[in-house]
Amino acid sequence: MVNLVKKLLLLSVFFSSLMFGGFESVVKKQKFLSPEEAFKVEAVQQDESIVTTLSMADEIHVYADTLKFRAKGDQEIVLSPDMPKAEELDGDMVYHGVVTVTLPIEKITSRISGDYTFSVEFQGCSDAGLCYSPIVKSYEFKGKELGVWEKIAKLSKEGNAAKIVDVLVNESSLFVLFLFFIFGLLLSLTPCIFPMIPILSSIIVSQQGGREKPSMARAFFVSFIYVLAMAMTYTIVGLVAGLVGADLQAAMQNPWVLTVFAGVFVALAFSLFGYYEIGLPASIQSKLSKASDSAQGKGVLGTAVMGSLSALIVGPCTAAPISGAVLFISHTGDALLGGAALFVMSMGMGMPLLLVGLGAGKFMPRPGGWMSRVSQSFGVMMLALAIFMLSRILPEGMTMILWSLLFMGTAIYMGVFENKESEGAMKLFRVLAMVFLLYGASLFIGALSGANSMLRPFEKFTSAAVASVSSAAVTEDKASYRGYSVARLQAEVAASDKPVVVDFGKDSCTACKELEEITFPAPAVQKQLKRFTFIKVDLTANTDDDKALLKEYGLFGTPNIIFFDKDNNYLPEKSLTGFVPPEQFTAHLQGIE
């Protein structure tokens, strides 16, 4: 009876409301704002800054941790401007009202060349309970047009070969050739070219035979032949690799090839130590001398051979520029321009070697007893080059023992144990000999303890080394790195719910070891790698599966590092080629979500 009375009362109220105020006065309908009404975003350039204004309607808020800024041009970067102070709402930090963020344009143009898209991302809610979908607002801005030198400086730091290809495709032929010549000059200032200097110097010294001071013309001619042979070798290898899609440098890392040429360097070293003299039979030498005299030089063929071998074996750290030219040849079929680009790059690399030739003739003193010391120094360098080559095929412990013997032997040769009174610079010479002895002994002890690092010979005796060895990027289980196929790699990538880093390397790759020893163990890099799944792929065996992997992702040789986002999408624009310093690699990882 009571319930019936209540229903009758409600009905009477309902009909009364219809008569005096309508239905909406009883059932008050809640109206929510559309996203366009709730959020107003504006991004404008003012002087040297981009000023972003986010205006929210009454009773609307945006979560502080969702407000992000990005810029995308030739690469995509996440920006970190100074943010205003947020306020707390139900345990979350939010913004109400109007939020203004000022971001210096230099933070964008220092990393992106040309025009770019600036985007603002955020997610907000109504205080009444409705949460809007994530919102992205994008704005187009004119970027700073780079001049020729600025563009070259930027590309010289580029580790993505595909982006170098973009330059090759979109620029004029003259600019491409000029660009690669500058690349060569910049590479000549890196350790890539250093091993070639003692080789060339020893050739100049040996060809004068200690009989006379070398003329500038003769020394320069020898240097020119050496550099020309090096340039031609890079050009031929690049052309063939680009046209057939092969990693020909891998063939030059064959254990038999490396062993033979290491033996050649050992033989040259002992010749420079004065134990014997390498020469052709007198009859043949006489004929060759007559032929070479017309070219105003001696040993032209031998010099050219050494230049070619140096290009193939000693100078492997030109990966990014060479890969760019090789990819260009592969994608466009323009072998003429690609080959010319490699040639002028190699000539740029050879500029310091040509200066060595000029200096040998102009600044080298008259022959004397001092030249035996110079020859012995070059002999030590030749032995170092032989060990450097053998390190690609020998176990790391054996390589450390060879290095230790070289350092200790050099110290003894320098007279570290001789009881002579030393004065002036000779005291420093003895100190250097002592340093060599101590370092060589450290390497020997480290090798016996099972250490594998030239930089950390006592890693087995320190706790810090244990943490380093157990890092995500470097592990001793090398067998697990090998035997990858395209299907296996794709399956492991698909199984990850995090972004993925894939490192392609091989035992004969010096830059790969530098990444393992220097870049990957760095604390800042390790911190970033916790957000990623790290996959290491060893291509030493150069199997059909290894070649298929490189072909699948458009890569040439090693090291190459590729990336996938958290949704397993391949990010070719993020790929890196060659050695990358820890600071640069850390910043690169920060830009991948």
* CATH number assigned to the domain comprising residue 526: 3.40.30.10
d(CA 326, CA 577): 13
Phi, then psi, of 60 in degrees rounded to 5:
-120, 140
Angle at 327 between CA 248 and CA 511, to 5 degrees: 55
Both 111 and 251 in one domain: the answer is no
Count up the domains in the chain and report the number. Answer: 4
| 110 and 158 fall within a common domain | no
In a domain, 445, yes or no: no
Residues 113 and 253 in one domain: no
Residue 560 has pLDDT above 90, yes or no: no
Q: How far apart are CA 294 and CA 273, in angstroms?
A: 31
| One domain for residues 63 and 85 | yes
CA angle 488, 492, 495 (to 5 degrees): 140
With respect to residue 109, please indicate whether it lies within any of the assigned structural domains. yes
Contact 290, 209 (CB under 8 A): no
**Are residues 112 and 162 both part of a single domain?**
no
Kindly report the pTM of this predicted structure.
Answer: 0.49
Domain final position from 119, 141, 163: 141
> 431 lies in a domain?
no
Residue 75 has pLDDT above 90, yes or no: no
Domain interval for residue 362: 154-393
Domain-embedded: residue 453: no
pLDDT of residue 25: 41
Lowest mean pLDDT among 207-211, 286-290, 447-451, 455-459: 286-290
> Out of 232-241, 248-257, 436-445, 507-516, which region has the weakest mean confidence (pLDDT)?
248-257
Q: HSE-up of 453 (CA within 13 Å, CB side)?
A: 20
pLDDT above 80 (res 116) = yes
- Residue 424 placed within a domain: no
pLDDT in tens, 420-430: 666 666 777 78
Residue 220, Cβ neighbours under 10 Å: how many? Answer: 22
In this prediction, residue 3 carries a pLDDT of 44
pLDDT at 163: 59
Contact 273, 372 (CB under 8 A): no
What is the pLDDT averaged over residues 88-99?
A: 90
Q: Which of 336, 358, 393 is where one domain is finished?
A: 393
Interatomic CA distance for residues 275 and 386, integer angstroms? 18
Q: What is the pLDDT of residue 55?
A: 95
Are 158 and 96 found together in one domain? no
**Is the per-residue pLDDT at 467 higher than 50?**
no
pLDDT of residue 462: 66
φ, ψ for residue 119, nearest 5 deg: -125, 145
Mean per-residue pLDDT, 284-299? 47
Query: Both 254 and 324 in a single domain?
Result: yes
Tokens of 270: 């002992």
130 with 51, same domain: the answer is: yes
Q: How confident is the model at residue 24 (pLDDT cuts 50, 70, 90)?
A: very low
Pair 288, 241 in one domain:
yes
Half-sphere exposure of 583 (CA within 13 A, CB side): 1
R_g (Cα) of the chain, nearest Å: 33
| Predicted local distance difference test score (pLDDT) of residue 62 | 94
Residue 206 within a domain: yes
Q: So what's the pLDDT on residue 47?
A: 82
**What confidence score (pLDDT) does residue 327 get?**
64
pLDDT the model gives residue 465: 43
In this prediction, residue 29 carries a pLDDT of: 47
**How confident is the prediction for the chain on average, in pLDDT?**
75
Q: Are residues 26 and 44 in the same domain?
A: no
* Token reading at 148: 């020729």
- pLDDT confidence tier of residue 208, bands split at 50, 70 and 90: low
pLDDT(136) > 90: yes
Asked if residue 94 is part of any domain, the answer here is yes
For residues 567 and 510, the model is more confident at 567
Of the pLDDT bands very low, low, confident and very high (cuts 50, 70, 90), residue 385 is: confident
Higher-pLDDT residue of 50, 372: 50
Please tell me whether residues 332 and 309 are part of one structural domain: yes
Query: Does a structural domain hold residue 403?
Result: no
Give the pLDDT confidence score for residue 6 in this predicted structure: 41
Where is the domain boundary, 393, 423, 442? 393
Q: Looking at residue 464, what is its pLDDT?
A: 47
Residues 256 and 381 in one domain: yes
pLDDT score at 536: 92
CATH of the domain at 128: 2.60.40.1250
